[in-house]
Structure 1
């Protein structure tokens, strides 16, 4: 686990769950900063990644950890309002086990060290929390520890002008940390619906 920052993903998972709770049914078809994703797809993606990263933490490798997220548009189940908060809680609980951050695991069909998978989970929660807040007009203040880990992952994963999720959007170093992370993720911090 050399160089890995171990954090509690629970605070950020709760923030995302609270954002999702405030999504009105009429907002499910609205656009998001994620190309090709409406709010319902984004929520479906968050539900799926919550299960996948829970299983990655537990080293329970199989269908959930082997599925590439870009293989198809995510589907939002009819019981998502009850299931999503539970999935986010389970993800956070799984990463509280120190062994989750050690050894090798798999997420999104990619084998990676546990510490890297934990950083990717933090990144997913932080950036998709921003996506959801922006798409639905909500205020967003991510968990500071999760934001630091997400930014660190994105900074290391970005090569040249391309980040791990698309072309980087230039953001001044003087900008707040969330805006810099969002830019590294390939999103424009000024995006509006």
Structure 2
């Protein structure tokens, strides 16, 4: 079984590329994640990668309102925090036992951040006119992981209702639809 840190390392590169490609003029643009514009989704993703570093270390976290971190050289800071996320999950035993206030298996918690990083990188890529395709190894992990979490995630209002996809939809389209996203979403006027 591939370690969560190895999968995160594979996922971080494409996510950092997407964030590096976001023009400041698009920060107010809508995203496929209807409750977030680009700026708010970047702030949320920063909060996720920082909090999941702490969860890897079995520390408590607070997922209240995300601070506005889209200031100064935020792109470089995102890359730095993403590298810290990988390092936190690479500590021996990080993906074993339980983590988080809900007492979930650490592997499930690692799968959550891997899914967030991957799906939100797609959200931001779509919102800003960029291409994004996750690595097959990441999809192999998050597909079953997110499917198992979906009922709980819907109850917590983290996932929307599944979006219909045509027969023959690819694995990533299925993951996006599972989270309530329209895999064909484009910005208004695109």
TM-score, normalising length: structure 1: 0.85
* Structure 1: gaps spanning 5 or more residues: none
* Structure 2: gaps spanning 5 or more residues: none
Of residues 102, 105, 108 in structure 2, which corresponds to 1:113?
Answer: 105
Offset at residue 92 of structure 1 (A) = 1.2
How many residue pairs get aligned? The number is 181
Question: 1:99 maps to which residue?
Answer: 93
Question: 1:142 maps to which residue?
Answer: 134
Offset at residue 185 of structure 1 (A) = 0.7
Of residues 119, 126, 151 in structure 1, which corresponds to 2:118?
Answer: 126
Give the RMSD, CA atoms, in angstroms. Answer: 2.0
> Conserved in 1, the CA contact under 8 Å of 2:45 and 2:120?
yes
2:151 is paired with a residue whose SS is coil
> Conserved in 1, the CA contact under 8 Å of 2:50 and 2:81?
yes
In 1, Cα distance between the equivalents of 2:165 and 2:181?
A: 10
From the superposition, tell whether residues 10 and 183 of structure 1 become closer, same or farther in structure 2 (CA, over 3 Å): same
Question: 2:71 maps to which residue?
Answer: 78
In 2, Cα distance between the equivalents of 1:73 and 1:190?
A: 28
Offset at residue 145 of structure 1 (A) = 1.5
Alignment of 1:50-89 (within 5 A): 50-59=49-58, 61-62=59-60, 65=61, 67-68=62-63, 71-72=64-65, 75-79=68-72, 80-89=74-83
In 2, Cα distance between the equivalents of 1:110 and 1:133?
A: 31
In 1, Cα distance between the equivalents of 2:132 and 2:23?
A: 17
TM-score, normalising length: structure 2: 0.87
Offset at residue 74 of structure 1 (A) = 5.2
Question: 1:30 maps to which residue?
Answer: 29
Offset at residue 72 of structure 1 (A) = 3.1
Offset at residue 110 of structure 1 (A) = 3.7
